[in-house]
Amino acid sequence: MHDNNLVDHAIIFAVNAHSGALRKGSKLPYIVHPLETLAVVSSMTDDAEILAAAALHDTIEDADVTVEQIAGQFGGRVAALVSADSENKRDGKPRADTWKQRKQETIDSLRSECGLPVKMIVLGDKLSNIRNIYSDYQKTGDKVWERFNQKDKKEHAWYYGAIAEAVSELSDFAAYKEYKSILEKVFGEN
């Protein structure tokens, strides 16, 4: 598949996978998030497989898509990249009860991850998230945390700060600098 076709196919697949879903705490279609993640990642690389994985990054975690389906349509590398950015949600257990464990696993995985592609996707994902949080934080202040499974702002500060450390190899990119700047605006010095 030609590079542009791979990315186009990934976008269409993600649109279909997330159809009808809304962004947490808003009326925005969920697909806005994967597309924003793709845009951020495209500022760091033009590798079509990384870009496709950025568009697909939440399909396994949030849209009932399997790694095998991703591999079948997009190849093993894309599937591995999407899988690396997917949390084990521990179905059957309350999300709030597993929040800290899931976030620690993400951080541990990033710290041991030697490849920049996964870190690029995670940075794109988390920058999109923190942009959204900051926008709402400006409107509602600390009430923004009420929409999350984890309602403690300090826990979010810990998580987003640890992500910044884990992807610090990307510190020369504008996306990383923006991420750090927004973290400071939301959480203060970290």
Query: What are the 10-residue block averages of pLDDT along the chain, 190 residues in total?
Result: 83 95 85 97 97 96 91 96 79 74 89 86 97 94 90 95 96 98 87
67 touches 83 (CB < 8 A): yes
Cα–Cα distance for residue pair 110/112, rounded to 1 Å:
5
pTM of the model as a whole:
0.93
Question: Of 85, 11, 77, 13, which is closest to residue 42 (Cα–Cα)?
Answer: 11
Buried b (16+ CB within 10 A) or exposed e, 125-151: bbbbbbbbbeebbeeeeeebbeebebe
CB within 8 Å of 149: residues ≥ 6 apart: 94, 95, 96, 99
Domains of the chain: 3-187 (1.10.3210.10)
Each residue's pLDDT tens digit, 104-113: 988 998 988 6
Please provide the size of the chain in residues: 190
The β-bridge partners of 29 are 22
